A and B are shown apart, each in its own frame.
Chain A
Amino acid sequence: MSLYPGLDAPKPPIYKRLWALFFVVFVVLSIGGTYYATKSVDYIWRWYTVPQYFFYLDDVEVLAEAEGIVASIEPAGEESAVVIRGADGEQRYLVPADGLRVDLDQFVYVDDVLGSSQQWKSGLLIYGLWITLKVSLIASVFALIIGVATGMARISNNPALRWLAITYIELVRGSPLLVQMMIWYFVIGALINKSIAGWGLGPVPTIWFGVLSLALFTGAYTAEIVRAGIQSVHLGQMEAARSLGMSYGEAMRKIILPQAIRRILPALAGQFISLIKDSSLLGVISIRELTKITREVVTTSLQPFEFWIVCALLYLILTFGLSLLVQHLERRAI
């Protein structure tokens, strides 16, 4: 759909079909070319190794904790209750009924397998995806709060507030996120952990330094977007609200910000999509998010092609999901 319909001569019907065909051919050739290139360097694709990093069947074994004789085996629901009588008295174990591996009166030693069952467990990639999602979500919420607050401080009449906002924005935008993460973890984190250790408190979990660095980084960019949004709302709106008995803060909250947020939604979406992708740097401060996990998986599986592609696709799912959500919000906004 053209943004300026009617400005140019109408296109013949073949126009759309021809260029759609071009698009499909382009995509197919790109993928095909990549596949051909991997063939020519003798890379052996093993996609079948991928699913187990999402979910796998795990053997869960029940081990004897002390040696002795199996005194009784009685059914208890879907499981069997195994009682082992040893020198130190009796011990009772619950073992899956269909996975029982001992008989009555059998002598078992410590760590002998009494029974086993198979269970589905989530793999490393799911774990990494979850950490990425968690860090991004928490950091996004903080970034939005920091961004709106800083954006408003940036246009405040109070010089201290304004200069603090400008200093923060310029500092954070002026250095690489990777360096900031290092500083948060190895400098500020170390200082904080040492100080609170003096009060008898344990170290702050690493993930919080990751969340902080991401939130403060994205917050600085969000602040500038929010400021532009606020300034794009006509001055008369503030005057109208004030003349109707609202204080500055109330007018900002009820009149200016709702309109500003609607206008800056596309820009905000971009910023938070960036945040999700920036979380991939958190591996450097040993947070096991998706990218770090993928690196681990590649090291053990020796299948870099498959897993880096899978990693990228997983990020794509997260970012595209966010994109769809924002599009939905945009449509709802008037």
Chain B
Amino acid sequence: MSDQKSLLQLEGVCKSFGPNLVAAEVSFSLEKGEIGCLLGPSGCGKTTLLRVVAGFESIDQGRVIIDGTTVSTATSHLAPEKRTIGMVFQDYALFPHLSVADNVAFGIRNRPGRQRRRKVAELLELVGLAGQSGRYPHEISGGQQQRVALARALAPEPELLLLDEPFSNLDALLRERLTVEVRDILKSLQTTALLVTHNQHEAFSVADSIGVMFAGAIQQWDRAHDIYHRPASLAVATFVGDGTLISGTVEGPGTVRCGLGVLRGDLSLPCSSGSGVDLLLRPEDVLHVEDAEIQARVVHKSFRGPTILYQLELTSGEQCQALVSSHHNHGIGQWIGIVAEVDNLVIFPQEPA
């Protein structure tokens, strides 16, 4: 049974569209006030799962429980309007024929006039749109529309806020700012929220816990830090963040020998000495030190402003990446010294050849 603390709980949810299985036995739960995120490539079923929670899609198997009430099973379905949820849509879905204030007031239209107006003013203040209440959605910018959508969803004080790729239509700067703002707003209201995105930076900056989804299944449900530094599978490791795999051999507890020398740190899984493993190397784990012992040849570089991402080839023929301050500008073909500094040794057992 569901314990009282979790506000949203999915138990073995299955959903398919015809022959396409879009959710395969998905289970996870969110505590009250927690911000969760479903992260995955497009087509992995994360949006469908969000729509299942919202009540826009039925399910084939399993249960969805919101605040102790079972809202979806294979045979029952509570209508979306009865679920005490709020939703922010990818395209915002603002009502074009209503003004900003009317959009926000829409979910609380049954409250007495004065109370309603105060709440609308309060929310517009919160999202920084106090002066825009009389304008229509097409008259304001994308970022402002996004914030109206958020205010509209928050107005009825939902138990659970669902956000479907809410930042994907915004430019990078605005996205950066809004993700932080949205997290602050949600935390100040202590709203439980579930976010869906394909963008790991959004996931990291907004969510408390993240579920990484591939092909309808959640591969790992964890804190953001653990998703990045302790990925449970190769797929998670390569989807979240940049990185390359190089082969190595376990030489003892917390020690791996590879093309970058002998590395010491916490092994992500216990392995007996002598076994061959694939080691995940993040670009920021590889430091550039001019007179280092290990030298690598620059095969490719991409300038990123403050840093340059170098694609390097080791003497063993393997490749790795290094994120280096852009003061160190090396040409392609040059040999540079590198040092690996890895705290968490993320390893995957090598398939026997």
Contacts of B136 in A (CB 8 A): 334
> Which residues of B in the span 71-96 have a Cβ within 8 Å of any Cβ on A?
79-81, 83, 85-87, 89, 91, 93-96
Interface contact A239-B93, CB-CB below 8 Å: yes
Q: Are A242 and B95 in contact (CB under 8 A)?
A: no
Give Cα A1–Cα B10 distance, bound, in whole angstroms. 57
B93 touches A246 (CB 8 A): no
Tell me, yes or no, whether B335 is within 8 Å of chain A by CB. Answer: no
Select A243's contact among B80, B91, B138, beta carbons within 8 Å.
B80
Q: Are A334 and B96 in contact (CB under 8 A)?
A: yes
B79 touches A255 (CB 8 A): no
Closest to A251 in B: B81
B93 touches A245 (CB 8 A): no
Q: A236-B89, A239-B87 are contacts. A244–B96 as well, Cβ < 8 Å?
A: no
- Within B88-123, the residues touching A (CB, 8 Å) are 89, 91, 93-97, 106-107
Cβ–Cβ contact B79 & A243, under 8 A: no
B87 touches A243 (CB 8 A): yes
B residues in contact with A237, CB < 8 Å: 93, 95
- B147 an interface residue at 8 Å Cβ cutoff? no
Q: A239 to B56, Cβ gap below 8 A?
A: yes
Q: Is the CB of B156 within 8 A of A239?
A: no
Interface pairs (19), CB distance under 8 Å: A236-B93, A239-B54, A239-B56, A239-B89, A240-B89, A240-B94, A240-B95, A241-B95, A243-B54, A243-B55, A243-B80, A243-B81, A243-B83, A243-B85, A244-B153, A244-B156, A259-B95, A334-B97, A334-B138
A-B contact count (CB 8 A): 58
Q: Which residues in A have their C-beta under 8 angstroms from that of B55? A: 242-243
B152 close to A (CB within 8 Å): yes
Which of the listed residues B83, B94, B95 has the most CB atoms from chain A within 10 Å of its own CB? B95
Q: Which residue of B lies closest to A243 (CB)?
A: B87
Contact A245 B97 (CB under 8 A): no
**Inter-chain contact B80/A242, CB cutoff 8 Å:** yes
CB-CB nearest 7 A-B residue pairs: A236-B93, A244-B107, A240-B93, A242-B80, A243-B87, A245-B81, A242-B81
Whether A255 contacts B81 by the Cβ 8 Å rule is no
Whole-angstrom CA separation of A236 from B165 in the bound complex: 14
**A262 touches B (CB below 8 Å):** yes
Which residue of chain A is the closest to B87 with respect to CB atoms?
A243
A310-334 to B contact mask, C-beta < 8 Å, 1/0: 0000000000000000000000001
**A11 at interface (Cβ–Cβ under 8 A)?**
no
Type the 1/0 row for A238-270, where 1 means its CB is closer than 8 Å to any CB of B. Answer: 011111111100000001001100100000000
Q: Report the minimal beta-carbon distance from A10 to chain B, rounded to whole angstroms.
A: 29
B131-142 vs A, CB cutoff 8 Å, 1 = contact: the mask equals 000001010000
Which B residues lie within 8 Å of A247 (CB)? 79, 81
User: In whole angstroms, how far apart are the Cα atoms of A242 and B85 in the complex?
Assistant: 10
Q: Which residue of B lies closest to A237 (CB)?
A: B93
Select one of A243, A246, A259 contacting B97, CB under 8 A: A259
Complex CA distance for A241 and B109, rounded to whole angstroms: 12
Contact of A244 among B79, B91, B106 (CB under 8 A): B106
User: What are the residues of chain B within 8 A of A243 when measuring CB–CB?
Assistant: 54-55, 80-81, 83, 85-87, 153, 162
Q: Name 5 extra pairs, CB < 8 A, besides A236-B89, A239-B93, A243-B54.
A: A236-B93, A240-B87, A243-B87, A245-B107, A262-B97
Contacts of B83 in A (CB 8 A): 243
Q: Which residues of B contact A246 (CB under 8 A)?
A: 81
How distant is the Cα of A334 from the Cα of B94 in the complex, in angstroms? 14
A42 to B94 Cα, complex, angstroms: 68
**Interface residues in B, total, Cβ within 8 A:** 25
A234 within 8 A of B: yes
Which A residues touch B153, using CB under 8 A?
Answer: 243-244
Whether the Cβ atoms of B79 and A242 lie closer than 8 Å is yes
CA distance A242 to B153 in the complex (A): 11
Contact yes or no, B156 A236, CB < 8 A: no
**Chain A residues numbered 184-239 whose CB sits less than 8 Å from any CB in chain B:** 234, 236-237, 239
B138 proximity list for chain A (CB < 8 A): 334
- CB interface residues, B 3-38, toward A, < 8 Å: none
Chain B residue, CB-CB nearest to A246:
B81
Residue of A nearest to B84 (CB): A245
- Which of chain B's residues has its CB closest to A255's CB? B95
CA distance A334 to B97 in the complex (A): 6
B-chain residues with CB within 8 Å of residue A262 when the two chains form the complex: 97
Cβ distance B285 to chain A, nearest Cβ, rounded Å:
42
Q: In the complex, which residues of chain B have a beta carbon less than 8 angstroms from the beta carbon of A255?
A: 95
- Nearest chain B CB to A250's CB is how many angstroms away? 9
Q: Is there an interface contact between B152 and A244, defined as CB atoms closer than 8 Å? A: yes
A236-B91 in contact given A242-B80, A258-B97 (Cβ < 8 Å): yes
Smallest CB–CB gap between A249 and chain B, Å?
11
Per the bound structure, the CA–CA distance linking A173 and B322 in Å amounts to 71
Give CA–CA (A247, B110) in the complex, Å. Answer: 13
With a cutoff of 8 Å between Cβ atoms, the chain B residues found around residue A240 in the complex are 87, 89, 93-95
Give the chain B neighbours of A234 by CB distance below 8 A: 91, 93
A242 to B97, CA, bound (A): 17
A229 vs chain B, min Cβ distance (A): 13
Q: With a CB–CB cut-off of 8 A, which chain B residues contact A236?
A: 89, 91, 93
Complex Cα distance, B86 from A245, in Å, reads 9
Complex alpha-carbon distance, A255 and B93, angstroms: 11
CB distance from A230 to the nearest CB of B (A): 14
By the criterion CB–CB under 8 Å, are A239 and B95 in contact?
A: no
Give the complex CA separation of A258 and B102 in angstroms: 14
Bound-state CA distance A169–B92 (Å) is 36
Cα distance, A184 to B51, chains bound together (Å): 50
| CB contact list, A40-89 vs B, under 8 A | none
Hey, what's the 0/1 contact readout for B38-79 against A, CB within 8 Å counting as 1? 000000000000000011100000000000000000000001
Bound complex: CA of A255 vs CA of B156, how far in Å? 18
How far does the Cβ of B6 sit from chain A's closest Cβ, in whole Å?
Answer: 21
Q: Which residues of B contact A258 (CB under 8 A)?
A: 97
Name A247's closest neighbour in chain B (CB-CB). B81
* Shortest Cβ distance from residue A287 to the other chain B in the assembled complex, whole angstroms: 40
CA distance A293 to B40 in the complex (A): 73
Q: B192: shortest Cβ distance to chain A, in Å?
A: 15
Q: If the complex has contacts A334-B96, A334-B136, are A245 and B156 also in contact, measured as CB distance less than 8 A?
A: yes
